[in-house]
Structure 1
């Protein structure tokens, strides 16, 4: 039985079928049909996290002050007009609400018909609520954030029983500059609003929002270049002007690189940056002037920590005698650095292609991603084969449950890592 095709014509009957599947699955019994893979895998994660399927969570709302602080800090505030135009201008808007959550699953904005908003309130789907998957179970916001792709959750595909009267469709919005998760946009409503085409609709609007963010980024760099030109013209040696996140507006005396990794909390003074060595940072309007002092990189006292414990927020941190910095990782970079940390002797491009894609011929893709990683790890990462520098200490921090290792990943080597850790 194709329950999705059935849901498009008879939502109530499809909901009953899914309710039977949910009850049997959670009871450990055999079912006449299996949940969809994205839902079944989510249920497994949620069961491990200890969410109660019979009781929802209403605690932990953000205060009004905290909500406003998160709104002001979220890049998604810049694309609210795009989201509203794409998701609230449809004919059946009285039956839907639009929800925008940040990368931590916190609901920052909600808009739509008052009656649907009241229904959402009864589910705890309100401003400031925490809708991470490991807090409230399988849902369009939290699950989309974990798997990093659009997800539609219908009726009893929700893990918590009180949510099974609802249907929601969420799509992640990522930073077009580096792939970092910024949040999730979601369209939700009663069961009879379910339609298979909603998934493509919400995803397309999320992609429009990312395109708008890209336009805003390019415009801000162009403005910074007008500041950079006279500053760089007066300097000798290697120097660059970057924005507050390290994206390059202009360079002098050195090859152009799209981004220079800055310390986690940049401050004026002498700092070590992996791409340039020891540098001096000077503040500029809208960014930083980065002046290279010398070619050398620190030796012997450098430590790299790869943190894979927080779903959606993987990071690499580097510390040395001249300072420290951290970089949030995209899903692909998290996979590649995990493999290099496991195999300290190194991996060729073909090895990595086989371990990530299951296809050793995809070396062009691997080399492109490794080139991007080298932009922020610099000389700490060597090639032929790709590996961490021998005199660098590398530590990997893994999730408590090995089955939660990079849950988005379908890479053969990561899957083997989950199984091997579980067995051992």
Structure 2
């Protein structure tokens, strides 16, 4: 398995997220000389899979607002599911024939572990918009191409539904392409929200939906959606982040004493807690924070709750997408520490048992997993003896041996 020679400038200029994607691709056993992406959905099964997918409702919209534009500029638009399987690929007949040479066809998998580094796979792996140009692709056959992709999420649960991608030549490597792709994805999410609105149930009397992002963050982001179509997002203080998280984890509510025990390392003054709750109520609104007991009067979605649910369902790959780092990592609140440690240990145990080398590599490459000796050892035992990652893994284990004595 050889890699074409690259200039020193190209090597020095590799972006961190691309380097990490190469690590995951190599760990999954993708070969740089693999010509095509594998077909994972047969022609016979493709129509049923499309019809059942939520994005089928917005495919005509996406084809209308983006599909024609890519046809006019000799590019290809693709829509994939959350696993990276391409459900729709649109473009001029000539471009579609050209894309077939690398396996960029309906039914193929462009997950990183199947196709190596590419924009749709990177967007799925990170949950963020991604651009991958020419030599940044892991496989040699894809290096004449460039691609821009962004995830599409369920507007209510924030669950990943799939990915929207534009693939072409150098003409797409401009900021306007990413702006267009992101705008089309947000338009699709808005249409999904609009079509689902009559069927969405909300708590009686409030009509509020609260989305909490706290994984890998010292200050939680909270989005309040009243159903008006104009949600508001606020960044909470560390203490308010802890309070909201603890209340979200206790749907039936907590008394003042119970909340104080979970919040303070020592005996917290009840007046201090009441003052914090009053400030939080002023920030989020009277309707959202109820008392006696203290509770959140809203439908609550949390990124750590999603990771816990995905683990419980056996969806380790989905849980890894949700897990952006330890929960409120700087918090010393006993209740937060308990939830944080339980989730982290559950993630580690599932990863260690999985033998999924690309997921193990993502963990050990993270800022929280770089010194995880057990995970490095399990990764070494799981990769093939001739894996190009073997020297890197052995080097990290040697470093930890030295540091740990």
Instruction: Give the TM-score band, short-chain normalised.
Output: 0.5 to 0.7
Counterpart for residue 316 of structure 1: 311
Q: 1:383 and 1:175 mapped to 2: Cα distance?
A: 30
SS of 2:44's equivalent?
Answer: helix
Unaligned runs of 5+ in 1: 1-20, 222-247, 260-273, 277-305, 319-324, 340-351, 364-381
CA distance in 2, matches of 1:334, 1:22: 35
Out of 63, 77, 88, the position equivalent to 1:109 is: 88
1:169 match: 148
Alignment of 1:184-195 (within 5 A): 184-195=163-174
Match among 392, 397, 400 for residue 355 of structure 2 = 400
Is 1:198 the equivalent of 2:177?
Answer: yes
Distance 1:326 1:107 in 2: 20
Cα offset, 1:256, TM superposition: 8.0
Is 1:23 paired with 2:37? no
For 1:5-154, list aligned pairs within 5 A. 23-24=5-6, 33-90=12-69, 93-154=72-133
SS in 2 for 1:219: helix
Q: Find the aligned partners of 1:275 and 1:78 in 2 and give their Cα distance.
A: 33
Residue 372 of structure 1 corresponds to none
d(CA) in 1 for partners of 2:43 and 2:56? Answer: 16
How far has the Cα of 1:88 moved from its partner? 2.4
Structure 1 residue ranges (4+ consecutive) displaced by more than 6 angstroms after TM superposition: 325-332, 408-411
1:376-387 alignment to 2 at 5 Å? 383=335, 386-387=338-339
**Aligned-pair RMSD on alpha carbons?**
4.4
Deviation at 1:89? 3.8
Q: CA deviation at 1:65?
A: 2.7
Q: Secondary structure at the match of 2:312?
A: strand
- Structure 2: give runs of 5+ residues left out of the alignment: 211-249, 253-303, 377-396, 401-405
8 Å Cα contact 1:94/1:113 also seen in 2: no
CA contact (8 A) 1:170 1:186 kept: yes
How far has the Cα of 1:180 moved from its partner?
A: 1.2
Q: Following superposition of structure 1 onto structure 2, how do residues 250-329 of structure 1 map, counting pairs within 5 Å?
A: 315-317=310-312
CA contact (8 A) 1:133 1:142 kept: yes
Question: Which of these residues, 364, 375, 380, is aligned with residue 421 of structure 1?
Answer: 375
SS of alignment partner, residue 64 of structure 1: coil
CA positional deviation for 1:66: 1.4
Which SS does the other structure have where 1:65 is aligned?
coil
The size of the alignment, in residue pairs, is 282
SS in 1 for 2:311: strand
Higher strand share: 1
Residues 196 and 257 of structure 1, relative CA distance in 2, 3 Å threshold: closer
Give the corresponding residue for 2:161. Answer: 182
Could you tell which deviates more after superposition, 61-70 or 105-114?
A: 61-70
